[in-house]
């Protein structure tokens, strides 16, 4: 996730918030973790602002963690999870991946989120599609939780 992103990141944040609310009692067993893909902006205060101001409800998820760190540490996490990131004309481009990891640390499922793009470069999906993704995330999170 990139706190400066205007395409897929805010949509995925919305889907995660929906998933959390769809989980019901299982939500207490699920952690949602996003990794910062913008090494230029890695200060925790910046990310907290994104979560609560532009995070489309992700700030309501008590077990949401936004992992950040120094650029070298972030690059290692990206490498470990096969995330590609590059900077072009001041804009961060990154691959998208969602991993469902079981309590013991084993990867159970992987998904690739998507968004449609408007001419101005912002992303969008119809609300019903965002809700469906939230339901799907909740379904696989339940399975991964055990």
CA end-to-end span of the chain: 26
pLDDT of residue 3: 82
- Within 10 angstroms of residue 49's Cβ, the number of other Cβ atoms is 13
pLDDT of residue 56: 84
**Beta 98-101 vs 107-111: how paired, if at all?**
antiparallel
User: pTM for the full model?
Assistant: 0.88
35 pLDDT tier (thresholds 50, 70, 90): very high
pLDDT tens readout for residues 39-96: 888 888 878 877 887 778 898 999 999 889 998 999 999 999 999 999 888 788 898 8
pLDDT of residue 46: 78
Collapse the DSSP code of 106 into the 3-class scheme (helix H, G, I; strand E, B; otherwise coil) and give the result.
Answer: coil
pLDDT of residue 103: 93
Q: Which of 86, 81, 96, 107 minimizes the C-alpha distance to 13?
A: 96
pLDDT of residue 88: 86
Q: Which of 61, 66, 146 minimizes the C-alpha distance to 106?
A: 146
pLDDT tens readout for residues 83-142: 999 988 878 889 889 999 999 999 999 999 888 889 888 889 999 999 999 999 999 999
37 pLDDT tier (thresholds 50, 70, 90): very high
């Amino acid at each position: 996730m990139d706190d400066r992103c205007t395409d897929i990141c805010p949509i995925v944040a919305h889907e995660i918030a929906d998933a959390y609310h769809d989980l019901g009692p299982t939500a207490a067993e699920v952690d949602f973790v996003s990794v910062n893909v913008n090494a230029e902006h890695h200060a925790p205060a910046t990310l907290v602002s994104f979560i609560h101001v532009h995070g489309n409800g992700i700030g309501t998820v008590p077990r949401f963690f936004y992992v950040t760190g120094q650029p070298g540490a972030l690059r290692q996490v990206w490498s470990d999870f096969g995330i590609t990131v590059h900077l072009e004309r001041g804009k961060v481009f990154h691959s998208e991946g969602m991993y469902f990891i079981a309590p013991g640390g084993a990867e159970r499922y992987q998904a690739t989120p998507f968004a449609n793009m408007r001419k101005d470069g912002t992303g969008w999906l119809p609300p019903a599609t965002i809700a469906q993704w939230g339901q799907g995330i909740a379904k696989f999170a339940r399975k991964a939780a055990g």
